[in-house]
């Protein structure tokens, strides 16, 4: 029985990582078709760097992702603070309302966003992309930060106030340093959610603001090129890099000793 | 300027201070003066309103009515950060990301004290709590007692007029608690700051305080010195909450000199001169003021009360005896360990005994003095 479960676990593991491994291997495949491995090459990486359209899409996605993540983290922090710390009227309602965009199908959000933007006469572009992404990243950031804040002793900010700190000083000297890992987590989660979004981008992107996932999706019509494998590999490596950097920082914090 | 009779205003003066949460009034309107350099305890069971009272003094809660004065100045409109008081939180609320030194220095840095002065004063405060060697540690690397000292150093370093302490010993074990009681008292004397100490532990309050306010259900029932509170409780609640106490319900006798308890008889008591015969009262007698003897062995003074010894409990430094009275009620008698207690050991359980006490030891309290 134990052997069986351990084999299942191994198979699941292989299933999870096989696509990523294949992606990396084929990004170095000199053949143009994926069923044959002809030899090692950097050709696809070179082509990728010369691909103007993909480069633009990558830049769009990065800008939208960073701004959406910044907005979500900042607004999410304040929302979480209000909901965790104060006896806000209609607290239960707000808590529910925050979750709704996570449950509503994205396609519905996309359609309604487009309706609103065209009614309001806002041309699709960076602004609409960012607003659209914030709708789904804000709930995530808020939830992450609410969890972290409820774990924090509420007396800490009272103690700071009692010792003469203004709300800003309390934030800068006490809350921010203590919540830094969670703020970073909220930011990264918002960024990756925005970066990989397709559905909402489909409705909110305009001419000249095609995001990376939209660009990749559209190349399906002309057939996948090994160039995309190279792009995928770069993204996987970048993600691993971030996890490693954040993870090491987290580990160090945990090893520094349990908090009282 | 008017000169009043007392040149020094009290450290804290509460006038008609009250707080309601919705329809629930947690602090009834109360007036209270806390003197300068006083170790003042607010003693009451949890939920009596003492935490809310304290949070109104610090400014964390806005009172529903009444006002708070600090050193003669009305502070109703003054925010917490500008009030000349600090608080020691029950959880200590030390900043976990800062060293002991930086925790203590926090207030001085926020208030932009000159650098050189910060260092002198932080070191001074750490010496006071005997933690000079721990300045570089993080709170997580300290024991509970040490954390508590850091919190105290942090609360006094800015030399506030008042420090409020919210059950600071609650998280410590029994032995450390006793030590810290004396330490706190010593430090309070050394720094000369008014301490307002919240506790539900009557022993803590009796040990450390100059004066105690006993609170129950949002009301202050009595404000007095520890000995007064213990020897002259003003109500049944105070008598039973502070130490253990035997309470018997009865009425003032026809001569206004003793108390008649139904089923027991006429009992010696310190009946006030103005007591009216026939008035319903509560008799409060401390267990250590009651003398017990085997029935028939001695001739006790006035008003010996017969009873049956039901149970004895050995507590180390004393014996506690439970005696069933003819009325069905039980009285507790405590006798310090020693010869007298040893001689009482001869009485078997179920044996007949007589109880007696000096009239002065039996306090007459208004019946149903418990706050409604």
**Confidence grade of residue A29 (pLDDT, cut at 50, 70, 90):** confident
For residue A259, pLDDT beyond 80: no
**Is position B32 within any domain?**
yes
Same domain flag for B63 and B137: yes
Cα four-point dihedral sign B110, B114, B116, B118: negative
Same domain flag for B70 and B203: yes
Give A248→chain B minimum CA distance, Å. Answer: 18
**Is position B3 within any domain?**
no
**Is position A193 within any domain?**
yes
**B97 close to A (CB below 8 A):** yes
Q: Which residues of A touch B110 (CB under 8 A)?
A: 160, 163-165, 169, 173
For residue B287, pLDDT beyond 60: yes
User: Residue A61: which domain range?
Assistant: 52-223
pLDDT 10s digits, B335-348: 988 888 888 888 88
For residue B261, pLDDT beyond 90: no
**Is position B1 within any domain?**
no
Q: Which residues of B touch A256 (CB under 8 A)?
A: 138, 140
Structurally, how many domains does chain A consist of?
A: 1
Residue B18 confidence (pLDDT): 94
First to last CA, chain B: 43
Residues 208-247 of B with CB under 8 A from A: none
Domain CATH number, residue A169 = 1.10.3720.10
**Is position B2 within any domain?**
no
Residue B1 confidence (pLDDT): 45
For residue B134, pLDDT beyond 90: yes
User: If DSSP codes are grouped into helix, strand and coil, which group holds residue B83?
Assistant: coil
**Is position A92 within any domain?**
yes
Q: Which residues of B touch A161 (CB under 8 A)?
A: 60, 80-81
**Pairing, β B39-43 against β B194-199:** parallel
**B298 close to A (CB below 8 A):** no
- Name B163's bridge partners: B86, B195
Same domain flag for B207 and B282: no
pLDDT greater at residue A108 or residue B265: A108
Residue A260 confidence (pLDDT): 36
| Spatial separation of the C-alpha atoms in residues B229 and B222, rounded to whole Å | 8
Nearest CB partner across the interface for B107, out of A163, A166, A257: A163
Q: What is the pTM of this model?
A: 0.78
**Is position B5 within any domain?**
no
Nearest CB partner across the interface for A164, out of B92, B110, B140: B110
**Is position B6 within any domain?**
no
What is the rounded average pLDDT for all residues in chain B?
88
Domain CATH number, residue B24 = 3.40.50.300
Average pLDDT over residues A149-170: 92
**Is position A234 within any domain?**
no
| Contact criterion met (CB < 8 Å) for B95 and A174 | yes
Residue among B95, B147, B168 with most chain A CBs within 10 A, to mutate:
B95
For residue A40, pLDDT beyond 80: yes
| Contact criterion met (CB < 8 Å) for A173 and B140 | no
Domain boundary among B215, B237, B259: B237
User: What's the ipTM?
Assistant: 0.80
For residue B248, pLDDT beyond 50: yes
* Enclosing H/E stretch for B215: strand B211-216
Structurally, how many domains does chain B consist of?
A: 2
Residue B370 confidence (pLDDT): 43
**Confidence grade of residue B273 (pLDDT, cut at 50, 70, 90):** confident
Domain CATH number, residue B352 = 2.40.50.140
For residue B252, pLDDT beyond 50: yes
Give me the helices (H) in A104-125, please. Answer: 106-120
**Is position A31 within any domain?**
no
Same domain flag for B219 and B338: no
User: Residue B66: which domain range?
Assistant: 12-237
């Amino acid at each position: 029985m134990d052997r069986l479960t351990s084999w299942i676990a191994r198979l699941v593991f292989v299933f999870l990582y096989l696509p990523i491994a294949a992606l990396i291997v084929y990004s170095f495949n000199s053949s143009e078709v994926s069923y044959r491995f002809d030899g090692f090459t950097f050709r696809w990486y070179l082509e990728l760097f010369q691909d103007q359209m993909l480069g633009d899409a990558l830049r769009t996605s990065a800008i939208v992702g960073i701004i959406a993540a910044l907005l979500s983290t900042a607004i999410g922090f304040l929302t979480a603070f209000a909901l965790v710390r104060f006896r806000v009227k209609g607290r239960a309602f707000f808590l529910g309302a925050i979750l709704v965009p996570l449950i509503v199908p994205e396609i519905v959000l996309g359609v309604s966003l487009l309706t609103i933007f065209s009614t309001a006469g806002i041309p699709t572009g960076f602004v609409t992309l960012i607003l659209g992404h914030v709708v789904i990243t804000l709930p995530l950031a808020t939830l992450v930060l609410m969890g972290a804040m409820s774990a924090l002793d509420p007396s800490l900010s009272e103690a700071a106030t009692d010792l003469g700190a203004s709300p800003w000083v309390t934030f800068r000297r006490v809350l921010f340093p203590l919540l830094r890992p969670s703020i970073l987590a909220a930011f990264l989660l918002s960024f990756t959610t925005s970066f990989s979004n397709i559905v909402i981008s489909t409705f909110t992107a305009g001419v000249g603001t095609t995001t990376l996932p939209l660009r990749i999706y559209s190349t399906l019509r002309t057939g996948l090129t090994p160039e995309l494998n190279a792009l995928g590999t770069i993204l996987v490596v970048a993600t691993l890099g971030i996890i490693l950097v954040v993870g090491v920082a987290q580990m160090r914090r945990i090893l520094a000793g349990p908090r009282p | 300027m008017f000169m009043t009779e007392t040149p020094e205003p009290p450290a804290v003066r509460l006038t008609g201070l009250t707080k309601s949460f919705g329809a629930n009034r947690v602090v009834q309107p109360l007036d209270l003066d806390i003197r300068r350099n006083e170790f003042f305890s607010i003693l009451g069971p949890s939920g009596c309103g003492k935490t809310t009272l304290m949070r109104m003094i610090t400014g964390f809660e806005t009172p529903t009515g009444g006002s708070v004065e600090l050193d003669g100045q009305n502070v109703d409109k003054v925010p917490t950060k500008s009030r000349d008081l600090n608080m020691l939180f029950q959880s200590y609320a030390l900043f976990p990301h800062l060293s002991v030194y930086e925790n203590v220095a926090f207030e001085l840095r926020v208030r932009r004290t000159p650098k050189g002065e910060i260092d002198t004063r932080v070191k001074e405060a750490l010496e006071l709590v005997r933690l000079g060697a721990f300045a570089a540690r993080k709170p997580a690397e300290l024991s509970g007692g040490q954390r508590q000292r850091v919190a105290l150093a942090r609360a006094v370093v800015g030399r506030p007029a008042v420090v409020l302490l919210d059950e600071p010993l609650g998280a410590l074990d029994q032995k450390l608690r006793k030590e810290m009681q004396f330490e706190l008292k010593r430090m309070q004397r050394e720094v000369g700051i008014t301490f307002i100490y919240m506790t539900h532990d009557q022993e803590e309050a009796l040990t450390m305080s100059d004066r105690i306010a006993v609170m129950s259900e949002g009301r202050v029932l009595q404000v007095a010195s520890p000995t007064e509170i213990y020897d002259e409780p003003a109500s049944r609640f105070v008598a039973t909450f502070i130490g253990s106490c035997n309470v018997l319900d009865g009425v003032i006798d026809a001569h206004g000199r003793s108390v008649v308890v139904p089923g027991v008889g006429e009992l010696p008591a310190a009946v006030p001169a103005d007591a009216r015969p026939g008035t319903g009262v509560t008799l409060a007698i401390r267990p250590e003021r009651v003398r017990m003897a085997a029935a028939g062995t001695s001739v006790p003074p006035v008003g010996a009360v017969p009873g049956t010894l039901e149970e004895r409990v050995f507590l180390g430094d004393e014996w506690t005896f439970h005696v069933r009275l003819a009325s069905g009620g039980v009285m507790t008698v405590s006798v310090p360990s020693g010869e007298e207690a040893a001689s009482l050991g001869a009485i078997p359980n179920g044996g007949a005994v007589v109880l007696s006490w000096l009239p002065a030891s039996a306090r007459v309290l208004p019946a149903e003095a418990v706050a409604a």
